[in-house]
Structure 1
Amino acid sequence: MTQTVRAADAPPLPRRRRGPHLAWTIAAVTFVTMLGAAGFRSVPSVLLDPLHREFGWSHGLIGAAMSINMTLFGVMSPFAAALMDRFGIRRVVSCALVLVAAGSGLTVFMHHAWQLLLLWGVLVGVGTGSMSMALVATVSTRWFVARRGLVSGVLTAATATGQLIFLPLLATLTSHHGWRTASLTVSIAALAVVPLVLGLLRDHPHDVGLQAYGATAAEPGPPPAARTGSSAAAALRGLRLGLRTPVFWLLAGSFAVCGATTNGLIGTHFIPAAQDHGMPVTVAASLLALVGVFDIAGTIASGWLTDRYDPRVLLVVYYSGRGLSLLALPSLLGPHTEPSTWLFILFYGLDWVATVPPTVAICRQYFGASAPVVFGWVFASHQLGAAVAAGGAGWIRDLRGSYDLAFYLAAALCAAGAVLCAAIVPNRTAAAG
């Protein structure tokens, strides 16, 4: 997507600014925003069994609602990036948080399966999709020239931090006060972030007379978006740009594997799979929360590594290690946590979304200022993979009485993802520039 701006639209840029750069405040607000949105992302795995017991809905049906949610979460991402160009980050994120709060809060009144599909699937899927990884790509691209990889890693880690905060809390609330209390807690958390976004978030450094952090004459950062035209058309232009480039297909395919093996399989089905082996729900939820603990370190480290090493090599290592850990998982689950279980949690946490900073970096190398929108479409494939795994693993559990086959298939997918990343050709022209 080509961005143009008239000279009169941009205020004069000062040479210096005392104190911390405003970009770090923007990054902090974005971190808190994604942390609040992550609250609802933690709900499905905790509430799957309570909904099954109360309403008699099958694991496959509840997994289908999660599939709709994850599909919209991904498909909305490129349109959200275009909407942020058209209307600004602050407006889009505020509206998205309200949608998440409404969808989560209204679930306490549902009695029919179609309401589950509408609220958990459609409403919350649109809301969370409007502030997903496209927000990370937009903020890191607009506000940072230096430390982009590190910032991408930190912002991505917000989802893990949200999981760390919410999962044990939601599991405890569900066990002692019922799943409706947990849903209302998520709704309140999402609403609480709205005033922070309205008061502190800014759309572009040029709006406040600044340059991006680390900007130089050789690399001044992207100009402000021209806020004209259709956001949908801009998103579709980004898709056409990606479809003409082989690297887009390789990234989309590998990122679909990432979604299938994180949000889709482990994020949705780890707790019920652990319960199948006799593990208490609170222990399983705590283990999944620990994945979030280690994910914070792993994603930030991945961002640091992305600033220094070939992102393609990092992706091959990440997918290969993830596949091996999934292959071993069925033999590690049991009523009690063994050292091997802790080892899986440690490794899987470090690897959870470590794939995001290298993937964003490769998009930026190939697509420049259009990277946020193109990455939005890559992330859409991530969520399509998650949707297939969320629904498919539920149906496998219903048919076979076990999740083992789902874990083995996910391991095979990781091997395929590593092959796709190895096939990416470096963009030598971008590197020279």
Structure 2
Amino acid sequence: MTSTSPRVSRFYYGWKIVLIVFLTLIVSAAISSFPSVLMQSLEREFGWQREAISAVISVRILLYGLMGPFSAAMLAKFGVRRMMICAIMVMLLSLGLTPLIHAVWQLMLLWGLLGGLSTGMLANVLGVTVANRWFVKHKGFVIGLLTASAATGQLLFLPLLAKITEDAGWRYAVFVIMGALVVLLPIVGIWMRNHPSDVGAAALGTEEVVKPAPFTGSILLTPLSTLRMATRSATFWLLAGTFFFCGFSTNGLIGTHLIPACGDYNIPVVTAAGLLAMMGMFDLVGTTLSGWLSDRFDSRKLLFWYYGLRGLSLIFLPHALGAGYTQLTVFAVFYGLDWIATVPPTAKLASSAFGPEKAGMVFGWIVVMHQLGASLAAYGAGYVRDLLGSYTVPFVTAGFVCLLAAVFALRIQKSRQQAAAA
């Protein structure tokens, strides 16, 4: 008995893993949100239309989502550490070539294709995979914390990147992100571990050290067969449908177009980036709290309130843009608390319905729907703005689809038994 007590009292290595993944997702989130800062600079320097730049962002968001289920398979087959290092190297390649661009197709290749694939590897699926492997106790809290890292990335980087872009040019802002990746690379290489058994530990909340079963399926076919299984469940379609509306109303719309929308009202880019950073600060609180709540309350009811309140805030946004900074600050606080608070309860419902072994890939396909909605909003909002000269229609439309998502969330309860059977 005395020989085991030191092991119990030691700091759990899984928390170090959470910190490394948190830092990695922060930088990945900064890269994902950076195009919203770049948009106006690229318009001025190259004379590109907002619709063309929005198309690049739309492709990046789509590939980011499509990588999810295949990322889950690659993480299982090749290991978390190896795939994180690979993704960081691709990001460095994409960023390193970006200052040399002079045509839209080059931006599409570097930020649309390579950027979408690499950031898609370091996405919500990574956080869910790590949480499922290392934690039984506090799993919802960990998912919420890692999901909130996207908000923290905006909090730390967006105002800085906007200031550098304004004062020195957008190319210097690219170099700042590259520096963060260079610092991150050895941290992942030295301290990241694939599984609790690598350090002789059990998942937190269990006692037995269990080595992971080797991945024996196909990287391409296993996610597809998992999708086929999941589509037999009404719960999958309800979760995927609500997450489609989630993407439509968050990173595809606000994350991409809030800064340009503020520019239409002569609000400086640094001030607009500060609003997004404020959202990030409050989302760090809201999403982490959402993870804590999902460990204690019905996730379906949480989703109802999250989508409903988000919808009301988006309907209010056009008024806030015209009313001034005070009204925008109210929107930023209210919307920020709810930005991606939907992820922890959605991931918990997927894990409950399909089991922890399939949860990563199933959630990856749900994220695909999220990114499809985001991709549609990223391009569609830019197109409508060029057509009508205003973002009012996209913002209000997103508000009403969020209210529809709130209704869908309550219906998940009726189909959960079917999901378990499937």
TM over 0.5: yes
Structure 1 counterpart of 2:348, from 361, 371, 382: 361
* Distance (Å, rounded) in 1 between the aligned partners of 2:319 and 2:222: 48
Residue number among 230, 239, 247 corresponding to 2:227 in the alignment:
239
Residues 231-251 of structure 1, C-alpha deviations (whole Å, 9 max, x = no match):
122211221221111111111
- Give 1:188 deviation, angstroms: 2.3
Query: Deviation digits for residues 386-429 of structure 1, max 9, x if unmatched?
Result: 11000000001100010000101111110121121111026469
Cα drift, residue 334 of structure 1 = 3.8
Query: After superposition, where does 1:288-367 map in structure 2 within 5 Å?
Result: 288-334=276-322, 336-338=324-326, 340-367=327-354
**Inter-CA distance 70–430: structure 2 relative to 1 (3 Å threshold):** closer
What is the CA–CA distance in structure 2 between the aligned matches of 1:430 and 1:283, rounded to whole Å?
46
| Number of equivalences | 415
Which segments of 5 or more consecutive residues in structure 1 lack a partner in the other structure?
Answer: 1-12
Report the Cα offset of residue 294 of structure 1: 0.3
Deviation for aligned residue 1:335: 7.8
Alignment-derived partner of residue 278 in structure 1: 266
| Equivalent pair of 1:326/1:407 in contact (CA under 8 Å) | yes
Query: What's the % identity of the aligned pairs?
Result: 47
Q: Distance in 2 between matches of 1:221 and 1:416?
A: 44
Match of residue 394 from structure 2: 406
C-alpha distance 429-60 of structure 1, shift in aligned 2 (>3 A) = closer
- 1:167 aligned residue (158, 173, 182): 158
CA distance in 2 between counterparts of 1:275 and 1:166 reads 19
Output one character per residue of 1:322-359: Cα deviation in whole Å (capped at 9) or x when no partner.
00000010011148412x32211111110000000000
SS of equivalent to 2:141: helix
**How far apart are residue 229 of structure 1 and its match?**
3.5
Q: Which moved more, 1:228-237 or 1:133-142?
A: 228-237
Partner of 1:8: none
Residue matched to 1:64: 55
Does the residue aligned with 1:231 lie in a helix, a strand or coil?
coil
- Tell me the amino acid that sits aligned with residue 361 of structure 1: K
Which residue in the other structure is 1:29 paired with? Answer: 20
- The alignment partner of 1:424 has SS state of helix
1:392 aligned to 2:380? Answer: yes
* 1:131 is aligned to 2:122: yes
Any conservation in 2 of the 1:66–1:387 contact (CA below 8 Å)? yes
- Partner residue in 2 for 1:7: none
Report if aligned partners of 2:26, 2:149 keep a CA contact under 8 Å in 1.
yes
RMSD: 1.9
Structure-2 separation of matches of 1:256 and 1:225: 32
Moved more, 257-266 or 239-248: 239-248
Question: In the TM superposition, what whole-angstrom CA distance separates every residue of 1:150-187 from its partner, at most 9, and x where no partner exists?
Answer: 00011111111111111001000100111111122222
Report the counterpart of residue 54 of structure 1 in structure 2: 45
1:198, CA displacement in angstroms?
A: 1.1
Which amino acid is the alignment partner of residue 179 of structure 2? I
Cα pair 1:70 1:125 within 8 Å, conserved: yes
- For 2:409, the equivalent position in structure 1 comes to 421
For the residues of structure 1 that align with 2:278 and 2:96, how far apart are their CA atoms?
A: 26
Which range is displaced more, 247-256 or 181-190? Answer: 181-190
Aligned mate of 1:256, from 236, 241, 244: 244
Deviations 1:70-118 (A, max 9, x none): 0000000110110010000001111111112221221100001100111
- Residue 195 (structure 2) aligns with: 204
SS at match of 1:425: helix
CA positional deviation for 1:207? 2.4
Going from structure 1 to structure 2, the CA distance change for 1:191 and 1:244 (only over 3 Å counts) comes to farther
**Do the aligned residues in 1 keep the contact of 2:354 with 2:419 (CA within 8 Å)?**
no
Q: 1:170 & 1:138 partners in 2: Cα distance?
A: 30
Change beyond 3 A, Cα 1:242–1:282: same
**TM (normalized to structure 2)?**
0.95
Query: C-alpha separation between the residues in 1 aligned to 2:389 and 2:210?
Result: 52
Task: Name the amino acid aligned to 2:271.
Answer: V
| Bigger Cα displacement from structure 2, 288-297 vs 206-215 | 206-215
CA drift at 1:17: 3.6
After superposition, the C-alpha distances for 1:137-156 in whole angstroms (9 at most, x for unaligned) are: 10010100000000001111
> For structure 2, which runs of at least 5 residues remain unmatched after alignment?
none
Aligned to 1:44: 35
**Change in 2 beyond 3 A, CA 1:410/1:221:** farther
Q: Which amino acid aligns with 1:406?
A: P
| Structure 2 match to 1:182 | 173
Q: In the alignment, is residue 102 of structure 1 matched against residue 93 of structure 2? A: yes
Q: Is the 8 A contact 1:108 1:180 kept in 2?
A: yes
Rounded to whole Å, the distance in 1 between the matches of 2:318 and 2:213 is 49
Q: Which of 212, 229, 253 in structure 2 is aligned with 1:224? A: 212
**Cα–Cα, structure 1 residues 342 and 200, in superposed 2: closer, same or farther, change >3 Å?**
same
- The change in CA–CA distance for 1:273 and 1:425 in structure 2 (over 3 A counts) is same
Per the TM alignment, residue 18 of structure 1 is displaced from its structure 2 partner at its CA by: 3.2
- What is the rounded CA distance, in whole Å, between the counterparts of 1:313 and 1:227 in structure 2? 35
C-alpha distance 221-167 of structure 1, shift in aligned 2 (>3 A)? farther
